[in-house]
Amino acid sequence: MKLIFLGPPGSGKGTQAKILSNNVNIPQISTGDLFRENIKNKTELGIKAQSFMDQGYLVPDEVTNGMAKERLERNDCESGYILDGYPRTIPQAKFLDTVQNIDKVVNFELNEEEVVKRISGRRTCKTCGEMFHLMFKKPQKEGICDKCSNGLIQRPDDAPESVKVRLEVYKKQTEPLIEFYKDQGKILNVSALSSIDEIASKVKEVLEL
């Protein structure tokens, strides 16, 4: 089962990808996480990606496509995967079509006001990457990760100025993918307004799992 999870920043697609990945035992591939890992390890790719990411812009297609292709060719992707945050542009989707056969695209729908509310409350563990939210998924101890007890931070690209840019980028470059995959008959819409558990059940329902 080769899936794409599509949606605006803050729509919870990453959280849902993690849940489904555990349930059906296929990897979640997040290009955002891959970039962050490269930045942490100070690789050449990470250095290339960092300034784009911190400001909320997309990393150029050729860099992203190369990284995604390499990841999707690894053995653990043979029986399927969930792409979280890739593709994000039409050229990326066209490139992906040349190297992989995607089965379905789950599109998480969320209005702009809710997007801003959700992203501004988001906190991330700087060590293990676990995500929390000041309103929807509070850590047990303020500012501390439940999983590894290290400190939580606000990602640089979750700061208000970057969020505005990311939303504009989403509308201009990523939203057209909905039509692109609709034309291929692959889009399954899911409202991202309910609770995490309700959305997870809905995802299973639309995928007939």
Q: Is the CB of residue 123 less than 8 Å from the CB of residue 112? A: no
How many angstroms separate the CA atoms of 157 and 168, rounded? 13
**In the set 12, 15, 19, 35, which binds ligand AMP (CB under 6 A)?**
35
How many angstroms separate the CA atoms of 128 and 112, rounded? 29
Chain residues 159-198 in contact with ligand AMP, contact rule CB under 6 A: 166
Question: What is the pattern of x (binds ligand AMP, CB under 6 A) and - over residues 40-79?
Answer: ------------xx--xxxx----x---------------
Chain residues 90-129 in contact with ligand AMP, contact rule CB under 6 A: 92
**In the set 3, 28, 145, 157, which binds ligand AMP (CB under 6 A)?**
157
Please report the DSSP string for 132-168 in residue order: EETTTB--SSTTB-TTT--BEE--GGGSHHHHHHHHH
Q: Work out whether 85 is an interface residue with ligand AMP (CB under 6 A).
A: yes
Q: Work out whether 86 is an interface residue with ligand AMP (CB under 6 A).
A: yes
The footprint of ligand AMP on this chain (CB under 6 A) covers a number of residues equal to 19
**Helix ranges, the chain (H):** 13-24, 31-40, 44-55, 61-72, 90-99, 112-120, 160-169, 176-183, 196-206
Residue ranges binding ligand AMP (CB under 6 A): 9, 30-32, 35, 52-53, 56-59, 64, 85-88, 92, 157, 166
Catalytic residue IDs: 13, 88, 122, 155, 166
